[in-house]
């Protein structure tokens, strides 16, 4: 029966695809680990650091003092 043969062929193809993808991840564990480390560094840098700085900072940036008054930058200050 032709339909049975088609099913067998597609099942064999899917099995070989699964085996190829498994081989790729097993063959290069260093590359996988390195990629995960880079991803963690990116997440910490671009998400963690701004979140921590918002909590730690007082909201004002002080540039110094002029005639006894502090020169501060804050939101809405021109």
The string of pLDDT tens digits covering residues 26-39 is 667 888 899 999 99
Q: What is the pLDDT of residue 20?
A: 64
29 belongs to a structural domain: yes
Note the helical H segments in the chain: 2-27, 29-43, 49-56
Number of domains in the chain: 1
* pLDDT (0 to 100) of residue 58: 61
Sorting pLDDT into bands at 50, 70 and 90, what band is 11? confident
Assigned domain for 59 exists: yes
54, part of any domain: yes
Structural domain includes residue 78: no
Contact 59, 73 (CB under 8 A): no
pLDDT digits (tens, 9 = 90+) for 21-73: 666 666 678 888 999 999 999 998 888 887 777 766 666 777 888 998 988 88
Q: How far, in Å, CA of 30 to CA of 2, rounded? A: 45
What local confidence, expressed as pLDDT, does residue 76 receive? 73
Whether 61 maps to a domain, the answer reads yes
Which residue range is the domain that position 62 belongs to?
2-73
What's the rounded Cα separation, in Å, for the pair 63 and 53?
18
């Amino acid at each position: 029966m032709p339909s049975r043969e088609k099913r067998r062929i597609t099942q064999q193809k899917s099995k070989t695809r699964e085996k190829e993808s498994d081989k790729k991840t097993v063959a290069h564990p260093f590359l996988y680990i390195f990629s995960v480390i880079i991803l963690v560094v990116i997440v910490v840098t671009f998400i963690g650091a701004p979140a921590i700085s918002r909590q730690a900072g007082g909201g004002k940036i002080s540039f110094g003092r002029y005639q006894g008054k502090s020169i501060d930058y804050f939101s809405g200050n021109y």
